[in-house]
Amino acid sequence: MKSIKAKRTVQKMRKYDPPTSSRKGKLRMDFNENTSGCSPKVIEALREINMEDLSSYPEYSEIRKKLADYLNVDFSEIVLTNGADEAINVVMQTYLDKGDEIVMPTPTFVMFEVVASIIGAKVKQVLYNDDLSFPAEEVIKNIDENTKAVILVNPNNPTGTAIRNDDLIKIVEKASSNGVNAAVIIDEAYYQFYGKSAKNLIRRYGNIVILQTFSKAFGLAGLRIGCIISNKDCISEISKVLSPYSVNAAAVTAVKAALDDIDYVDRYILEVKQNREWLRKELGNMGIKTFPSDTNFIVADFGSICDLVSEELKQKGILVRKRTEYPKLKNCIRITIGTKKQCLQLVNEIKSIIKKAPTRSLVLPKVLLFDMDGVLADVSRSYRKAIKMTSEYFTGQEIKDKNIQEIKQEGGFNNDWVLTKELIKRKGKEVEFNKVKTKFQELYLGKNYDGLILNEKLVLSKNILKKLTGQYILGIVTGRPRDEAEFFLKNSGIKDLFSTAICKEDVGEKEKPDPLGLVIAMERIGMKEGVGSIRDAYYFGDAIDDMKTAVKAGLIPIGVIPPGIDSNDGKVLKTILINNGAKCVLEDINNIQEVLR
């Protein structure tokens, strides 16, 4: 038998395949359900359902009025859905066609990408920041005349991150500015735990559509009921796409009863908030990094014991959710907050797992921080050539590679623009700094990143870098401007391998050998308040200032001989690096494992 084929967009899409069995009777801390259960009044109401309730189509007028009162919106500004999943599907089907572009911060709830794939819409992903904070500026920057929808999950799943109200308004306004006509779809599944909603903006802005659910705070995940909130015109259009009877009578009965017992829900929310902070503190005392959350779950970075913890907890009947496949969440587990008793059970089991873990697994990952130029990037035909060509342009004299290296080895010239100006001066010419910088950038960047920057090649093997990410936390501290650093990282296909990248803009005037860049990097990857040990952090650099910076920051300095240096200059540089604090010097960065052993 030859089966019919699904449409092409469905054939290509990735299947969302959550577990749908073998969860009952276990401690469910994996899907952010209410682990206490719904209000007893809901169970009582469901027991009163009669034959007529089940044999007739459900009626929604009464529940819509009741829900509108609870949400403090008008009856005409809401519509019921079969859970948030139907809400996502209906709203996206209402506003998006095949080929339309969506701006979506990621990682986020996977169903938005699933529905986008079915429609055939194009998703423009914007990564959350390294500390999992919301990337407001990047989202705004990516909204343009091609944008048809912006997806915001607030607070976000799986990061727990909330969006500041002023950032939300800026996004909404950008999405409806001149030449832009985009819907802003806001998933507020965790609204009750956050306590803030955009529903007060629906009459001010005509492009906001909000999705809410009764699956989380109300404990009704099994009945599949949610709602869409927007201005009455949008609700009228959305209702055309919505199935007329998608919410069943039992769900309607349950929500009526739940809304009559808001005190029960409020008590549960307060307990979750208290237990969330308690759990974060307990995990922190074990050296496990957690991220701030405004939801009923937290994200915890278990480092090298992530898989072990997840599997051992499962054997004990405690279900948690590994999120390691998501960007920014390497080695991370998402944990739903339960009752105090449930959280205590979880903590005790994790302590037991850590005690039994192999000694190697108990050690938190070391931190490897890299300078970029001469360490990760071969700049012998880019930055070095720009120094040479700029100097020759202003002096009319030949500049040799040796001339550049000699100044580099003096220290104090980490900035190549400053170094170039100094080299010109030593050749007997005085040129204004801005003129030097302008000519340098003209050569290095070209008109549109088509200059000498294209000559840069990755020095450290990508395969080695990938292996290192499984054992260590990787970061970059460079004097490059961010745009130039990101161009190289993206062009080399290694951007996602680093937990953080500190660039020129992050430190202002505090250039190497000032240690600020390294200090910021260590803070961003959670090495500030007892999580890990600063003695487990290395900094790899090819210059005197790199070694001095590492020493001042309390990191282990490792020298690297950059590509393009002849053997004699290499020997001189090696001695200089060791004299300035290098624990050792690698003649080839690809031999990095020799140091780490």
Residue 361 has a pLDDT of: 43
In 10 A of CB 583, how many CB atoms?
14
Residue 556 near residue 545, CB atoms below 8 Å: no
User: Cα separation of 253 and 59, whole Å?
Assistant: 10
Average of per-residue pLDDT across 291-312 = 92
Average of per-residue pLDDT across 74-97 = 96
Average pLDDT, the chain: 90
Kindly indicate the confidence band of residue 534, based on its pLDDT and cuts at 50, 70 and 90: very low
Q: Per-residue pLDDT for 33 more than 60?
A: yes
What is the dihedral sign for C-alpha 390, 395, 399, 404? Answer: negative
Residue 481 near residue 453, CB atoms below 8 Å: no
Average of per-residue pLDDT across 496-511 = 88
The percentage of the chain sitting over the pLDDT mark of 70, rounded to a whole number, equals 94
Half-sphere exposure of 554 (CA within 13 A, CB side): 10
User: Which tokens is 506 given?
Assistant: 């992050």
DSSP 262: H
Read off the pLDDT of residues 104-138 as tens digits, 9 standing for 90 and up. Answer: 999 999 999 999 999 999 999 999 998 899 999 99
Average of per-residue pLDDT across 251-276 = 96
Read off the pLDDT of residues 162-200 as tens digits, 9 standing for 90 and up. Answer: 999 999 999 999 999 988 899 999 999 999 999 999 999
Average of per-residue pLDDT across 408-418 = 81
Read off the pLDDT of residues 416-459 as tens digits, 9 standing for 90 and up. Answer: 888 899 999 999 999 999 999 999 999 989 988 899 999 999 99
User: Cα separation of 177 and 171, whole Å?
Assistant: 10
pTM beyond 0.75: the answer is no
Q: Per-residue pLDDT for 6 more than 70?
A: yes
Residue 115 has a pLDDT of: 95
Read off the pLDDT of residues 220-234 as tens digits, 9 standing for 90 and up. Answer: 999 999 999 999 999
3: exposed, middle or buried (Cβ count in 10 Å: 0-12, 13-18, 19+): exposed
Kindly indicate the confidence band of residue 530, based on its pLDDT and cuts at 50, 70 and 90: very low
Average of per-residue pLDDT across 571-587 = 93
Which residues does residue 557 pair with via DSSP β-bridges, in sequence order? 539
Q: Among the listed ranges 3-17, 187-201, 299-313, 498-512, which one has the minimum average pLDDT value?
A: 3-17
Q: Per-residue pLDDT for 339 more than 90?
A: yes
CA-wise closest residue to 505 among 484, 475, 474: 484
Residue 356 has a pLDDT of: 77
User: Cα separation of 82 and 80, whole Å?
Assistant: 7
Average of per-residue pLDDT across 567-574 = 88
